[in-house]
């Protein structure tokens, strides 16, 4: 079993996490064309390829922002695994490719590449799920929760919403109960 160590390409992750334009520029310059070509060779259009490339970078950014993320493989290989995963998911979604229930693909991607990419993919699912479930709440609940998560005290939240402190407190517990209940089935994803 290979020992886990930080790859020298970690600086790219740090750069993306810091929204460093120089790093983003280099990433586009060095990797975008090849990724675009690969997607186009696999039933994609130029626009789809550009979107997938950008979404993959967004996913990496979210992961790097969410927790300490250590890259243990070359960035290009890691990026490619994420792109490939996203693209096959999209093909499946668009029904351009029928992936049957028992479709289990074998690939010879190295363990490190797979592990790093998997961390990003799972994190993206988690992030997306949190957003989806929050958006399913009624607007009043959503606003109250968002305000309370911004670091405001419940008194301040109550003042902003022009309601009493007691009401705001009670309402928050009701909204949290709804939210947590809706996340119950996906608890394993949320509480990674």
Partner 1 sequence: MTIEEKYELFDASLEDKLSKEETLVLQEILKDTKIQEEFDTYVQIQNQYINWQKIELDKKVFKQNLDAVKLEQQDTMSPVESDRNNSNAIKVSFVKKYLIPLSAAAVIPIGVFVAMQTGLFTAKQQIAAFAPDELSMERGMEADTFANIVTLYNEKKYQEALPLIETYQKAHPENINIQLAKAICYLDKKDFPLAENELQSIIAQNNMYKEKAQWYLANVYLKQGKQEALKALFKSISKDHFYFTAMKLIAR
Q: Is 103 in the site for partner 1 (CB under 8 A)?
A: yes
178: which residues sit within 8 A by CB, 6+ positions away?
A: 137, 141
C-alpha–C-alpha distance, residues 146 and 141, integer Å: 8
Of 74, 160, 161, 163, the residue at the interface with partner 1 (CB under 8 A) is: 74
Specify the DSSP class assigned to residue 101: T
Q: Per rule CB under 8 A, is residue 98 in the interface with partner 1?
A: yes
Residue 127 lies near partner 1 (rule: CB under 8 A): yes
Footprint (CB under 8 A) of partner 1, residues 142-161: 145-146, 149-150, 153-154
Among 107, 135, 139, 162, binds partner 1 (CB under 8 A): 107
Q: How far is the CB of 3 from partner 1 (least distance, A)?
A: 12
From residue 24 to residue 43, what is the string marking binding to partner 1 with x (rule CB under 8 A)? xx--xxxxxxx-xxx-xxxx
- Cβ count near 111 (within 10 Å): 12
Task: Give the residue with the Cβ less far from partner 1, 6 or 107.
Answer: 107
Cβ neighbour number for residue 93 with a 10 Å cutoff: 10
Indicate the DSSP class of residue 185. G
Per DSSP, the three-state class of 150 is coil
């Amino acid at each position: 079993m290979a020992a886990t160590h930080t790859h020298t390409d970690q600086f790219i992750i740090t750069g993306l996490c810091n929204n460093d334009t120089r790093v983003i520029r280099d990433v586009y310059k060095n990797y975008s064309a090849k990724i675009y070509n690969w997607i186009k060779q696999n039933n994609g259009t130029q626009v789809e390829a550009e979107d997938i490339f950008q979404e993959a970078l967004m996913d990496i950014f979210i992961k790097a922002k969410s927790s300490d993320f250590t890259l243990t493989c070359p960035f290009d290989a890691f990026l490619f695994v994420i792109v490939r995963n996203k693209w096959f998911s999209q093909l499946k979604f668009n029904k351009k490719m029928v992936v049957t229930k028992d479709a289990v693909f074998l690939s010879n991607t190295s363990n490190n590449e797979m592990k790093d990419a998997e961390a990003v993919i799972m994190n993206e699912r988690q992030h997306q799920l949190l957003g989806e479930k929050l958006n399913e709440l009624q607007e009043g609940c959503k606003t109250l929760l968002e305000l309370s998560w911004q670091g405001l005290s419940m008194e301040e939240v109550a003042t902003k919403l022009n309601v009493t402190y007691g009401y705001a407190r009670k309402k928050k517990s009701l909204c949290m109960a709804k939210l947590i209940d809706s996340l119950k089935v996906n608890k394993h994803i949320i509480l990674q």
